[in-house]
Amino acid sequence: MDKIKLRSYLLNALFALAGYAILHVLLESGVINAYYRGVILLIGINATVTIALNLATGMLGELCLGHAGFMAVGAYTSALFTLNSGLSGYIGLILGLLCGGLLAAATAALVGVPALRLRGDYLAIITLAFGEIISVLLRSFAFTGGARGLNGIPLLTNFPLVYWILVLTIVAVYMLIRSRHGRAILAIREDDIAAEASGINVTRFKMTAFVISAAIAGIGGGLYAHYIGILSPNKFNYNYSIDYMVMVVFGGMGSITGSILSAGTLTILPELLRSFSDYRMLVYSVLLIILMIFKPEGLLGQKEFSQRFAANLMRRLTGRKIRSAASYDRHELSVARETTRRARERGYLTEQGPGDLGVGGRRRRPEENIPVAGTAVAESEGRTLTRQGLDPGPYEPAERKGRR
C-alpha cells in the first residue's frame, strides 16, 4: 500500500472535517443566518448534482441533457417514501434517498441501453426526450400528485447530511476516476476506437459511468425534495438540466473541484444580483458570456484544486517551497517540469501550467474517418451496415491520393 498516498488521503479527510466544523460552528452560532443557511444547502445539493453530471459529460464525454429527469425520479421517489413509509426522521430520509438513487440508476440503465451502444450524440437526444417524458409522466400520474405535485414533504434536509453526501460524492467520483475503471472511462472520451483496441468494453464502461452519474443525481434530487418541501413536475424541465450543464462547463469539464466552485458561484450569483431586479438574468448571462470568452475552458479548466495545486500556488505567491503530502512525487514533478521547459523551448508544447494534470479534456470527434463510399455502403448488409449506418468506425481513409 502506498504510504504517501494514504497520507494525502488523510490530509484531505482532515480538510473535510475542518470544513465541516467551521461551517457547523458558524451555522449554529447564528453568524450565518437562516437565509444563507438555505443558500449553503442549495450549493451543496447543486455541487453534488454538478459533479454527477460532470462524470457523465466531462469525464465520459457523453452529452446528457436530462439530468433534471434523474433528479425528478430521485426527488419523487424519496418524497413518496418519507410521506408513505411511516418511517420518520433521518432513517426514513436516508432510506428514501437510497431508493431514489437506485430508481434513478435503474431508469438510467433503461435509457442508456439503446443510446450508449451507439457512437455519436444519441445520448444527448435520448436524455433530452427522457427529461420531457418524465415531466409528462409526473403530471399524469395520480400518485405523484398530477400537475399540482407533492406538498408537505418533511423538511429533513439539513447541513450535515448535505455536507457529507457531497463529500461522499467527491470521494466516490475521485476514487473511481483514479482507478483502472476510471481510466477506461476517460479513454472512451478521448478516443473510443483506441479504447476498444486497448481491451476496454466501451458499452459497459459507458453504462457504468452513466448509471453512477444518474444515481448521484437521483440522491441530489431527494435532498432537494426534502429541502424545498414541495415538488412540482414543472420544476424538473429542460432549463433545469441546462442549468447543471452550465455549471459543469463553467467549472471546467472533468474537474471535480471546478464543479464545486462553479456550483457555488452560480448559486450565489443570482442571489447577489437581486439588486438588479429585472435585469438579474441579463447580468447573469452577460457574466457567463464574459467568462466563457476569457476562459473558455471554465474556471479551473481541467485542473483540480488539489494539495499539489495549492502547494504550487503558495510557492508562486510566497516564493517559498511548501512541503506537503503531495510532495511525494516531487521528483516526478521536477522531471516533468524540466521536460515541459525543454519542450516549450522547442516550441511543441503549448499548455501546461502549474498544478495537477487533471482528468479533463474534450471528446475527439470522429470527423476525420467518415467513410467516403457512402452510397455503396448503404446497400450492404449485416454488421457492416450497422457499423456504417451509425458510425464511421475505424476506417482510415487514404492519406496519399493518386499514388497508385
Ligand X SMILES: Nc1ncnc2c1ncn2[C@@H]1O[C@H](COP(=O)(O)OP(=O)(O)OP(=O)(O)O)[C@@H](O)[C@H]1O
| Residue 152's binding partner out of ligand X, other proteins, none, with CB under 5 to 8 Å set by partner kind | none
Verify binding: residue 282, ligand X, rule CB under 6 A: no
Verify binding: residue 296, other proteins, rule CB under 8 A: no
Verify binding: residue 393, ligand X, rule CB under 6 A: yes
Give residues 72-131 in contact with other proteins (rule: CB under 8 A): none
- Phi first, then psi: what are they for 157, rounded to 5°? -70, 120
State the number of CA atoms in the 13 A half-sphere of 27 facing the CB. 18
Chain residue whose CB lies nearest ligand X: 398
Verify binding: residue 354, other proteins, rule CB under 8 A: no
Verify binding: residue 119, ligand X, rule CB under 6 A: no
Min. distance of Cβ 380 from ligand X in angstroms?
8
Cell of 27: 451555522
Min. distance of Cβ 196 from ligand X in angstroms?
15
| 320 vs 346, beta carbon nearer other proteins | 346
Give residues 366-385 in contact with other proteins (rule: CB under 8 A): 368-369, 373, 375-380, 382-384
Min. distance of Cβ 394 from ligand X in angstroms?
9
| Residue 132's binding partner out of ligand X, other proteins, none, with CB under 5 to 8 Å set by partner kind | none
Span interacting with other proteins, options 115-123, 152-160, 287-295, 345-353, rule CB under 8 A: 345-353
Out of 4, 289, 352, 389, point to the residue binding other proteins (CB under 8 A). Answer: 352
Verify binding: residue 371, ligand X, rule CB under 6 A: yes
SS (H, E, C) 192-224: HHHHHHCCCCHHHHHHHHHHHHHHHHHHHHHHH
Give residues 161-190 in contact with other proteins (rule: CB under 8 A): 172, 175-176, 179-184, 186-187, 190
Verify binding: residue 340, other proteins, rule CB under 8 A: yes
Is the Cα dihedral 286, 287, 288, 289 positive or negative?
Answer: positive
Verify binding: residue 373, ligand X, rule CB under 6 A: yes
Span interacting with other proteins, options 10-18, 158-166, 222-230, 332-340, rule CB under 8 A: 332-340
Contacts with ligand X, residue ranges (CB under 6 A): 371, 373, 377, 388, 393, 395-396, 398
